[in-house]
A = this chain, B = another copy of it.
Amino acid sequence: MSGRSYPPRGQRWVPAATVSPVTTIEVRTGARQELLDVTDAVAAAVRELGVDDGAVLAFVPHTTAAVTVNEGYDPDVAADVGRWLADRIPRDEGYAHAEGNSDSHIKAILVGSSELLPVAGGRLVLGRWQRVFFCEFDGPRTRELRVSAV
């Protein structure tokens, strides 16, 4: 299988390393904390995996990033979510971990590193306002989101 790159540059997707039956979406984030709508890339991965009915697992193989499902219509929602997280889980709070990103780990645990997404008729079946967000909590970095059949 081939991979997917997000966000698009020039052409919409670029290949990334994958192993069957997993499709790896490459996600390039642009800030320390950022919620990126990756729904189109996940939907493409579902088609590529050939999953017809059931579910796909969207898995973040990092410890300072996460994935979630929420509203994508009004970008203010993601902004408000990000602001609450940044305010309640401050970057500097006398943490022990020397890398200075304990807040990123805490955010990743609370939001969660995977989502199981329903598929029917070969398509991702989300609610009307739902979108899939890759959540960067220690960027900017080049990240992976792995989508696989279960």
- What B residues does A80 contact at CB under 8 A? 95-97, 102, 105-106
Question: Is A31 an interface residue when CB atoms closer than 8 A count as contact?
Answer: no
Question: Is A139 an interface residue when CB atoms closer than 8 A count as contact?
Answer: no
Looking at chain A's contact residues, the main secondary structure is mixed
Q: How many copies of the shown chain assemble into the complex? A: 3
8 Å CB contacts to B: which residues of A78-101? 79-81, 83-84, 88-89, 93, 95-99
Q: Which of A3-11, A36-44, A59-67 contacts B (4 or more CB under 8 A)?
A: A59-67
**Do the beta carbons of B146 and A118 come within 8 Å of each other?**
yes
Question: Is A111 an interface residue when CB atoms closer than 8 A count as contact?
Answer: yes
Q: Which of A83, A88, A102, A125 has the most CB of B within 10 A?
A: A102
Are A77 and B102 CB-contacts (below 8 A) given A19-B120, A61-B130, A89-B84?
Answer: yes
**A3 to chain B: closest CB distance in Å?**
15
Q: Which of A21, A53, A106, A149 has the most CB of B within 10 A?
A: A106
**Do the beta carbons of B96 and A79 come within 8 Å of each other?**
yes
**Do the beta carbons of A128 and B74 come within 8 Å of each other?**
no
Question: Is A2 an interface residue when CB atoms closer than 8 A count as contact?
Answer: no
Instruction: Name which residue of chain B comes closest to A108, CB basis.
Output: B70
Chain A interface residues toward B at CB < 8 A: 19, 21-22, 53-55, 57, 59-63, 68-71, 74, 76-77, 79-81, 83-84, 88-89, 93, 95-99, 102, 105-106, 108-116, 118, 120, 125-130, 144, 146, 148-150
Beyond contacts A21-B53, A76-B98, A120-B148: 20 other A-B pairs, Cβ-Cβ < 8 A, are: A54-B148, A54-B149, A55-B57, A55-B148, A57-B116, A59-B116, A59-B118, A63-B70, A63-B127, A70-B108, A71-B105, A74-B98, A76-B97, A79-B96, A80-B102, A80-B105, A84-B106, A109-B111, A110-B111, A127-B144
